Amino acid sequence: MRKNPERTAWIIISTAFVMFWVISCSIATSIYWYLFYGTEPFNSDLTSVRDIVLLEEVGSDNSTFVTDGQSSLIAEGATITTDDTSQAILAFGDDSSLTMYGNTTITLLETQEPRFFLSSLPIQTRIYLQKGRIRVTTARGRETLNVDVTTPQTEINFDQGSFSVEVNDDETQVITRLGQAHIIGDEVMLTLNRGNRVVVGADGHPSPPLPAAQNLLGEGSFSPTYTDTWTSYQYDEAEGVTTSIEPLEVKNQTVIEFKSTGQDNTHSEIGIVKEVNKDVRDFRSLKLLADVQLINQSLEGGGYQGTEFPIMLAISYKDAEGTDRNWFHGVYYSIPPDNYVLTSHPSKSTERIARFIWYPYESDNLLTILGREKPVYITSIRVYASGWLYQARVGNVSLLGEE
């Protein structure tokens, strides 16, 4: 090379150019990847709907508690547990949420979102359901939001919609209330459509799609034409009090708002009724479900006699002897004085929930808890508000019967 310094110079220049080109491309690629594929963890909002919820966060040796009606921001990796008396709602920053029922444990395996708005990656939420039952509501499609649940038996990918997942030691059961779910088990992918359910055994093999419980109230409980099947009524609207029953669009569905304004300490009652007229004597399960939101309540609890709640759910039916009976469930948020009545009976129960939160109520199996007084024929269902001043909303009312 000493005899040909020009050649040596060209080799050095070429090598430097190649290295410069490689480094430049690597920097550009890294910047591109960072802008379009970079993600960062996001916090989710945990709210205790009822009683105490146990929270174990990554990096902490001590467990914390979220008490009734309180909220807490939780990070990726957190484990949440409810006992047999508590329930919780986990919100993911939009209208998507996860409801935990009693005796349930989940872990947030992944909660990642794009770091920059230039990215087309979806928000990624992966949850491990160790035991218990959850309801998942996803507000967006998988092109912008991936919500996946893993259980000991299978993995479930959710499209936009509403879904229920229940896990025990032997199996996972998935029910699609709205939208589609994709069940991955035993190297098989099964698509579950609306109104179906699937059971995945310990071997990881999913069953064929099975019919879920039917809604005895029809395809949808409320729609823009809900007055064709629901009848509104009002009792005891006194002077100085104004009551109203109005349909509202919330989260792409119609809900009903019950409202009383004006003079306080004055009783009123307003509601809606739907005739059902359905024989259920051969059913093995009958449950009432409703999404409830309480906004205002001036009369604490259910009033002195425990009969005036901002939301009351009632079913009229006949038992096996042909006797007309009624089942009631009252919902409230304002704590009553000690001398106020709050009943806890299979045929008339009450429940305190957090204010402003959309609470997905689900009754026990009425065919089991009512014993000899269980229904064999459903006459009608009534949803109403009663008390002094109140504002409350109800949506997605379903009377699910399974034969």
In the numeric block, which tokens belong to residue 109? 């395996």
Q: Which pTM does this prediction carry?
A: 0.67
- CATH T-level topology, domain 39-211: Jelly Rolls (2.60.120)
Torsion of CA 232, 398, 217, 195, to 10 degrees: 150
Superfamily of domain 226-402: Galactose-binding domain-like (2.60.120.260)
pLDDT tens, N- to C-terminus, the chain (403 residues): 456 777 777 777 777 777 777 776 777 666 655 555 566 778 889 999 888 999 998 877 778 889 888 889 998 899 999 998 888 999 886 778 899 988 899 999 988 777 766 666 778 889 999 999 899 988 888 788 888 999 999 999 999 988 989 898 889 989 888 889 999 877 778 999 988 889 999 888 898 988 777 788 876 668 778 888 999 999 866 788 999 999 998 877 889 999 999 999 999 999 999 999 988 887 889 999 999 999 999 999 999 999 999 999 999 999 988 899 999 999 999 999 999 988 889 999 999 999 999 999 999 999 999 999 999 999 999 999 999 999 999 998 999 888 6
Q: Tell me which residue has tokens 């939780």.
A: 74
Cα separation of 261 and 254, whole Å?
A: 22
DSSP 369-385: HTGGG--SEEEEEEEEE
Query: What percent helix, strand, coil does the chain show, rounded to 5?
Result: 10, 50, 40
Question: 27-59: b or e for each residue (b if 16 or more CB lie within 10 Å)?
Answer: eeeeeeeeeeeeeeebebebbbbbbbbbbbbee
CATH 2.60.120.260 boundaries in the chain: 226-402
- Specify whether the CB–CB gap between 255 and 360 falls below 8 A: no
Number of H helices, E strands in the chain: 2, 31
User: DSSP E strands: which ranges in 217-300?
Assistant: 230-235, 241-250, 253-262, 268-279, 285-297
Where, residue-wise, is CATH 2.60.120.1440 in the chain?
39-211
